[in-house]
Structure 1
Amino acid sequence: MNLLQILNKLIRPKKMDGVQSIGNYRKVAIAACFGTFLEWYDFLTFATLAVVLGPLFFPSSDPNAGLLASLATFGVGMVVRPIGSAIFGSLGDRIGRKPIFMITIALMGFATVCVGFLPTYAQIGIWAPILLVGLRLLQGLSAGGEIGGGAVYLTEHAGNEHRGFKTSFLQLMGPLGILVSTLQIAFLQKWLSPEEFQSWGWRVPFWISVLLLIIAVYMRKSLEETPVFLELSKQSEKNESQLMNNFRDPEIRKRMFLLFFCISSSGAILFFCGQVYTAIFLKTSVKLNPALVDQLSIFATLMLFPLTIFAGWLSDRVGRKPVILAGIIFGTIFIYPAFQLLQLLGNLYIDSPTFNHLVGIGIILGALSLSLGLMVGPQTALLAELFPVKNRNSAAILPHNLAAGWIGGLLPLIVTWLNQAWGNSFAGLWYPTIFLGCAAVLAMLLLPETKKANLVL
């Protein structure tokens, strides 16, 4: 069955294969994806504005120190994600997937709106960065429960047929969050003077999250619990926390490690290299015009959409493992030379601006998107397929957020710090390159194929 035929089947309401359908899958998918989009939009707006927030909240005579402080604050939110995943993941196994969705999205929305009203260092001094870090911690706790939990929720609703394709759309919410945030900032920078943007314009993306939060809460209120969890509830009068049991079971412990090291860490590295760090690199190291960098970032994100969906569909045909392995191996080989080429073409464009130089940069960004798309397209389904139903939420969410928070979230900070320590714009890139190489070897040897897994077991 080809891609168009699968899309046609999704348009027609039908009962899902393998489990009893509650409601329409399209409604579930839209509501789940929109909520996850809001989480990513809120969470990644901070990364998009890292260069702007540095001097406002961490003033310093050294611009590199201000950038590092801003990136460190972004990293703080990522570091606490595993704590949120441990808390909310365990609760998801006990009280259900849906209640956790409502809690996490409200927490994220509250913290993000508060950032938009936060006074700067010039207004309240040291309290400005302290409050910013505190709100970032709340964002991190919320993201820990949402990101990963959304994958389990959507996959348990998807049934057994075309699971990779149907769940791949959730992986677009992170890039979509960056895209919407970047478009807003580009629009604001075009229509506001630099002084106006620095004074109040940067707050607008945070304020807009109020409207998005209202829509997301309304949509999620109408969602039902997953049929898989409802079936588990019928079999057991009391759903217990499985967090500690996960570490006692050798098979689950092994799969949690593989998920952490091979899947989630690799996906996080490729995401932050291709979608976050490229923009920072082009603005700070290459020193391209920020507005031009934003346009290039939009192009890279748009390229990622069809590539991710295609990878999810392909994983239903050939398996999750070969598609994911292709993404990891390609990323291992390409990341380091990709940034060298970006530096070269960026310098050529600055010296003599031509369309060909921009095309070259676009091709490199598109290749990075290809590596990421192959990695994350099957990822949503794989997160749930690796674990039995009673352990699934806690076993999948904790390693996934640990990897995203400690490996991916700290990557821009670590790479920037290594570059500055070695006095070289590329030294830090050996970190993601070596990590991906090790992950590729482990995945090749130990990662199981899961596309035929029965989710109700």
Structure 2
Amino acid sequence: MTAEERKVIFASSLGTVFEWYDFYLYGSLAAIIAKQFFSGLDPSAAFIFALLAFAAGFIVRPFGALVFGRLGDLIGRKYTFLVTILIMGLSTFIVGVLPNYASIGVAAPVILIVLRMLQGLALGGEYGGAATYVAEHAPHGQRGAYTAWIQTTATLGLFLSLMVILGTRSAIGEEAFADWGWRVPFLVSILLLAISVWIRMAMNESPAFKKMKEEGKTSKAPLTESFGQWKNLKIVILALVGMVAGQAVVWYSGQFYALFFLQTVLKVEPATANILVALSLLLGTPFFVVFGILSDKVGRKPVILTGLLLAALTYFPLFGALTKAANPDLAAAQASAKIVVTVDPKACSFQGSPIAREVDFTSSCDIAKRALAQASASYDIVEAAPGTAASVKIGEKELLPPTATLTAGGHKFDDASAAAIKAFKADLAATMKEAGYPAKADPAKVNKPLIVGILFILVLYVTMVYGPIAAALVEMFPTRIRYTSMSLPYHVGNGWFGGLMPTIAFAMVAQNGNIYYGLWYPIIIASVTFVVGLLFVKETKDVDIFADD
């Protein structure tokens, strides 16, 4: 590797690390964001909506891929992702100074979502540029190894965000952090932005793009060539369904969903959860390069498909083991005193709604499910005859949740209903405690080495599917439309299939009642991608990426 090649990788990777840092701060602080910006909603709905706002940045990523991918193929790689990092950095800084819901009402979450969408647009143009730029500098036969460094940036960005959050938490205390200290990591991003811009200003244009431009072979209409011609469009679709969709859900399951699961379901203290996830990321990150190098030798497909298959086969036992390691009291209570909710299904509303208010749930079924969801309790559902009032059985004790009546304006429960719901929740909490269900994980019983080991396995799957993906995507498309063509499937996959994973999974759990039910989403997507990739996607490691077609 020459000094110039090292500079290319370092400059591309460092800027991308900072950009991922900006993007993932929000996800790492989702629980606090829910309280700061969505406090007008029911607590369960607030968290789901906070995750949906997190996902808003992912939803718009494909549009950023189209806008900036087109610019990258028209005017060059360098200047395009210089613009993207400016948009990302400034949007992140503004989140740090944005007034919360208590200060400016509904305008706060609206502005927050707009900023998340701007971040998503920027990231939509960032990854394709960085991956293309590095791949076009890499020697033939080593693209997997070179682009794997870009693949480490998302994990390193998440690691950096966790470290800054942890450092701020430790310095000012949990109460101050929840009140105002959560803003500090967002404000720090302005310094990272300055460093990133300075680095990227010193970079040279990609040699492949320069050569193509000098020969007058650049595309005049990258969008039309990429998506208006079936020859290329079918490759875009195969890249999405047979590679990226599965990679995306494994990525977000192994890193973000695991963190959310530890904090919100298993009730592990947030700082501890952050440290454990950060340690697993630290141990796992080198394997991005290991599997990138391996993909240069055996091919992209074998490495990626093996990771998908392992994830699909082992997620349920791994997350079950995570529960026993992080909150053994919860695991024991679930085994010895199962919670059973007997209901008339027609009396139950959809529990996974991100815009629901507490007053939208008035039936005894809704009140029972809502209370259990807020307690992160796993339960089984037994269908009863139509018209049957709901009941909750914990071990041998049965509780009868009330139905609720609203005041004349319909904005809150009447006094009698509010009192009855409060009494039911208190009775539920007392009964769960008596049955051994803990209010939070006991720090003395948290098996930290085992948790790090389980999380490391989850991250290892991430490195298998994600390490070779940049090289695979670059190799699937010709130079003149590469930025545009590879960016769209990557960001549809990672933005929609992956970015929505935590939101969809938690909504599935809220509706179904089983804390592991959300895992069906990544398992099914990964399985479909495995089959499509195995049967229809061609191996690309030996293609000439400088060829015109």
* Equivalent residues of 2:247, 2:526 under 8 A apart: no
Change (3 A) 1:381 1:124: same
What is the Cα deviation at residue 283 of structure 1?
0.7
Q: Deviation of residue 354 (structure 1)?
A: 4.5
- Given the alignment of the two structures, is residue 286 of structure 1 paired with residue 263 of structure 2, yes or no? no
| 1:412 maps to 2:392 | no
d(CA) in 2 for partners of 1:237 and 1:267? 33
The alpha-carbon deviation at position 249 of structure 1 amounts to 3.1
Work out which of the residue numbers 79, 89, 100 in structure 2 matches 1:99: 79
**Aligned residue number for residue 512 of structure 2:** 422
Query: How far off is 1:157 after superposition?
Result: 1.1
Between 1:232-241 and 1:216-225, the stretch displaced more is 232-241
Shift of 1:264: 1.9
Matches within 5 A, 1:333-348: 333-348=313-328
Structure 1 counterpart of 2:118: 138
- The TM-score with structure 1 as length reference comes to 0.92
Question: What CA distance in whole angstroms lies between the structure 2 residues aligned with 1:396 and 1:253?
Answer: 11
Q: Which runs of 5+ in 2 are unaligned?
A: 330-440
**Residue type at the aligned position of 1:63:** P
Note the C-alpha offset of 1:60.
Answer: 4.3
1:124 aligned residue: 104
The equivalent residue for 2:159 is: 179
Query: In structure 1, what is the equivalent of residue 195 of structure 2?
Result: 215
2:218–2:480 Cα contact (<8 Å) kept: no
1:446 maps to a residue whose letter is F
Match of 1:189 in 2: 169
Aligned to 2:361: none
Equivalent in the alignment of 2:479: 389
**Shift of the alpha carbon at 1:258?**
1.9
Q: Which moved more, 1:252-261 or 1:319-328?
A: 252-261
Q: 1:378 to 1:414 in 2, by over 3 A?
A: same
1:111 is the counterpart of 2:91:
yes
Unaligned runs of 5+ in 1: 1-9, 14-23
**Residue correspondence of structure 1 range 201-280 to structure 2 within 5 A:** 201-236=181-216, 239-280=219-260
- Structure 1 runs of 4+ with >6 Å offset: none
Which residue is equivalent to 2:346? none
For residues 391 and 385 of structure 1, what CA distance do their matches in structure 2 show?
12
1:440 aligns with 2:420: no
Residue 353 of structure 1: which of 444, 448, 451 is its match? 444
User: How far apart are the structure 1 equivalents of 2:20 and 2:46?
Assistant: 24
The CA distance in 2 between the partners of 1:194 and 1:320, in whole Å, is: 44
Deviation per residue, 1:239-276 (Å, 9 max, x gap): 41221222243332222112212322222211111111
User: In structure 2, what is the Cα distance between the partners aligned to 1:330 and 1:253?
Assistant: 30
Q: CA deviation at 1:352?
A: 8.1
Superposed CA offset, 1:289-346 (max 9, x none) = 1111111111121122121111011111111111111111111112222212212222
Deviations 1:45-78 (A, max 9, x none): 1000101110100004632121111101001111
Counterpart residue type for residue 346 of structure 1: A
| Aligned amino acid, residue 94 of structure 1 | L
CA distance in 2, matches of 1:422, 1:238: 52
Q: Distance in 2 between matches of 1:192 and 1:424?
A: 36
* Counterpart contact for 1:148–1:383, Cα < 8 Å: no
1:95 touches 1:239 (CA, 8 Å); kept in 2? no
Alignment deviations for residues 94-128 of structure 1 (CA, whole Å, 9 cap, x no partner): 11111111110111111011001100111111111
Identity of aligned residues (%): 38
Paired position in structure 2 for 1:19: none
**SS class of match (1:452):** coil
Match of 1:36 in 2: 16
2:219, 2:481 within 8 Å by CA — same for their partners in 1?
Answer: no
Aligned-pair Cα RMSD in Å: 1.5
1:233 is matched by which residue type in structure 2? K
**Partners of 1:111 and 1:336 in 2: CA distance:** 37
The separation in 2 between residues aligned to 1:221 and 1:318, in whole angstroms, is 37
- Find the aligned partners of 1:352 and 1:390 in 2 and give their Cα distance: 56
Larger CA deviation: 371-380 vs 231-240: 231-240
The count of aligned residue pairs is 436
How many Å separate the matches in 2 of 1:111 and 1:352?
37
3-state SS, counterpart of residue 353 of structure 1: helix
Partner of 1:205, secondary structure, is: helix
Could you tell me how far apart the structure 1 residues matched to 2:87 and 2:256 are?
24
* Mapped partners of 2:35, 2:540: distance in 1: 47
Alpha-carbon distance in 2 for matches of 1:265, 1:205: 30
